[in-house]
Amino acid sequence: MKGWEQMNASINEWIKEMTLTEKASLCAGLNMWMTKGIERLNIPPIHMYDGTNGIRKTNSDDEMGITTENVPATCYPTGAAIGSSWNTELLHEVGEALGNESKEMGVELLLGPGINMKRTPLGGRNFEYYSEDPCLTGELGAAFINGLQSKGVGASLKHFACNNQEYEKMVTSSEVDERTLREIYLSAFERIIKKSDPWTVMCSYNLLNGSYTSENEHLLHDILREEWGYEGVVISDWTAVNDRIRGLKAGLDLEMPGPAGYNTKAIIKAVESGVLEEEQLDKSVARILKLVERVTGMEDAVPATAMEYHSLARKAAAESIVLLKNENAILPIQAESTHSIAVIGRFAKKPRIQGAGSAKVTPTRVDIPFEEMKQLAGASIELGYAEGYPEDDSVNEEMIKESVALAAKSDVAVIFVGQPEYAESEMRDLKGIDLPEQQILLIQAIAAVQPKCIVVTSSGTALAMRPWVQHVPAVIHSWLSGQGMGKAIAEILFGQVSPSGKLSETFPVKLSDNPSHMRIRGENGKLYYREGLFIGYRYYDRKELAPQFPFGHGLSYTSFAYKDMKAAQTETGITVSFWLENIGNRTGKEVVQLYVHDEECTWTRPEKELKAFSKIELAPGEKRQIVFELEERDFAYYNTKYNRWVAESGYFQIALGSSSRDIRITERLYCDFGKEEVSFHKFSLISDWISDPVAKSVLEECLDEMNQHVVEKIYLNDEFVGFWEDGPLIKILQMYGQTWLGDRSPDEIIEELIRKVYERRINV
């Protein structure tokens, strides 16, 4: 790629040559999927397409292609699935592969990944998103983008921000307090932007605290541009633009789709009338031109072959699938003692590999679970098949009877069930997280006659399993794991692959356990995130509520031991080390999860929060030392009093576990992050004044002077502080100092005290 100085020089030359009309027109697309080029200046257009789990390239750049077959491309596991791989190296590899395939297909910008938090399991696009946790999401998203952009194909990080439902999303305001916004809903975006510099960020449809995200100055300018230093292109979701001029001022560069001639005219008029400074327009144009340079300036990478893509899709599926339950080690299926298997359920022959909407890929091929099982089983095992349930939600007793009869005469029953095809899609939320009634009745009936009953579930979100899970010894959650899912399931069933996926979201016992249950849709255009910080496992921990399967849960065909944990603060951060050993009899992968809990914070904080993780493969008997390097930010919370991240000195619990509820080893560590200097204002509390040594001395001098002029004297003893510590100092002056104040106002005294504090701090 050209050096940045040369690139910026060419961009400046382009801008000097462009007319106002050309500049304005460049800020909207040419059609559904292309930016506008300027032929006379040799500025080429950019081709972009949807791409969260594969490339959804339409047959024409003028069509949306939601309901039609599109150009075939590799269909990788959906975000929910690959999020459960917890494997950053895999995400990087998939990113590279998609970069290669994009180059082959003439795609220069891929519209993904989607990283919104899973506030509710009913979110219609949850299958596109990685997790309920921002640390896991951020690390996976950064790895994917670094892989993709290493091939010269741009990413589009979406949807920015707080787009957590499909219901009326284009007109609903997500009402989120600043701390929750920073710690939960923006944290993954921030991590990804700082670790991978995505070439574009896509704004969401919704309003955020009353302002459309496409024109939200606090979100786009104050946080994204100024605080995080993002210099890439901000692109609108398709038709997400409301006020184009306000959006440009806030930092929205590119409106899609195009050509949006009416907004081109509006931009020209705004510049000519002085409403919009041309310098502001030039900034957006420069960022768009920089994107053009980026996607056209790298030599084509050597493409992989189509077969390698499918092999990677299989590998990614295998790492994503989660073994939820395995009583009496019923899995893997033992071929030598098994002569017949009943394979039951439509999804065994017509698998659900992805969700619907703008992320739906036309796959190059699809592995069929039944056929893959048949191939691995060989001639010695007979596979029978029953459809189990109809395509719709109706209850069919005859299909259940047929399935039960087959299961009863077989050695093992494997039941393929899941959310129906139509349930998970962009533009509509799910109605529930239970399986259809027919499938529940089917599982219960088969479990009653066949003790060796294995259930394979498919969905892009958490499932409630209470009506049936206690009756079956084994459950595999296959998510929506792309075109290689069928072979991956078969290999896990027969033990050729040890499962290594871990849940990237909590599976509740029932929908009403979810913290957002009472306020899922919002009212009158406003959706209040009143559960605050406590989404996902953070809520279940604080509520002391047992989920069906916790965040981070996933079983293996081998076992791991955690030993010799050490934690220490260094000059650069906190180092945590331990030894992981495979104590089982086969090779497997363990996802080690590191959680942090602040014991002493005066503000409300979750019981524990994921701060690091690693996926490690070990052979039987092999052990390895794992080292995590944590930063001060990993111990911080967002303090809205000072509008900054604060890590308070004190004791922290550092926990290592195999899931959020399976903590294996902990260490208590005192961390010294220095003394946070308190910022003072008119209504600062007594507790603030006495917590700072300099401020306390200033206050004591003030009270000594006041006590010489009043009857009721004030001293900062335990009795007085115990009563008044949560009251503002100014109220003490108003309450006790009237005869001392005279003509002076309490405001003047407070201003004088604050000035003295800052002066003494400088001298110190």
237 annotated active-site: yes
Are the CB atoms for 191 and 185 separated by under 8 Å? no
Smallest CA-to-CA distance from 234 within 69, 217, 128 is with 217
User: CB neighbours (10 Å) of residue 347?
Assistant: 27
Which of 575, 611, 577 is closest to 594 using CA atoms? Answer: 611
What's the CA gap between 291 and 197, in Å, rounded?
12
Among the residues of 302-420, which ranges form H helices?
306-320, 369-377, 397-408
Report the SS3 class of residue 663: strand
| SS3 state at 345 | coil
- 88-105 and 306-320 are packed helices; what angle lies between their axes, rounded to 10 degrees? 150
CB-CB contact of 82 with 54 (8 Å) = no
d(CA 115, CA 164) in angstroms, rounded, equals 10
User: Alpha carbon of 199 to those of 42, 449, 647: distances in Å?
Assistant: 21, 56, 31
C-alpha span between 427 and 261 (Å, rounded): 27
Contact 564, 578 (CB under 8 A): yes
Asked if residue 257 has a cis previous peptide bond (ω within 30° of 0), the answer is: yes
Q: Is the dihedral of CA 682, 688, 692, 696 positive or negative?
A: positive
Helix/strand number for the chain, H first, E second: 23, 24
Check: CB of residue 456 under 8 Å from CB of residue 415. Answer: yes
User: Among 147, 134, 135, 83, which Cα is nearest to 319's?
Assistant: 83
How do strand 412-418 and strand 453-458 relate by DSSP bridges? parallel
| Residue 401 neighbours by CB under 8 Å, 6+ apart | none
- If phi over 0 gives left and psi between -120 and 50 gives alpha, with beta otherwise, what is residue 621? left
3-state secondary structure of 699: helix
- Residue pair 130/140 in contact (Cβ under 8 Å)? The answer is yes
Per-residue DSSP letter, 676:
P
Whole-number Å distance between alpha carbons of 135 and 763: 41
The sign of the dihedral angle between the CA atoms of 125, 126, 129, 132 is positive
**Residue indicated by tokens 């004297």:** 713
In the set 50, 61, 133, 237, the catalytic residue is 237
Q: Which two tokens stand for residue 741?
A: 């104040």
Distance, in Å, from the CA atom of 606 to the CA atom of 540, rounded to the nearest integer, reads 10
Name the nearest CA neighbour of 475 among 456, 492, 491, 490. 456
**Secondary structure class of 111 (helix, strand, coil):** strand
Residue 27 has which token pair? 């800020």
Residue found by looking up tokens 């690091």 in the block = 612
d(CA 13, CA 492): 58
Residue spans of beta strands (DSSP E) within 444-555? 453-458, 474-477, 526-528
Q: Phi/psi at 271 (nearest 5 deg)?
A: -70, -45
Going by C-alpha positions, the residue among 420, 355, 429 that lies closest to residue 164 is: 429
Cα separation, 117 vs 185, in Å, equals 6
Contact residues for 427 (Cβ-Cβ < 8 A; gap 6+): 124, 166, 357
Cα separation values, 697 from 337, 420, 701, Å? 81, 68, 6
Please identify every residue annotated as catalytic: 237
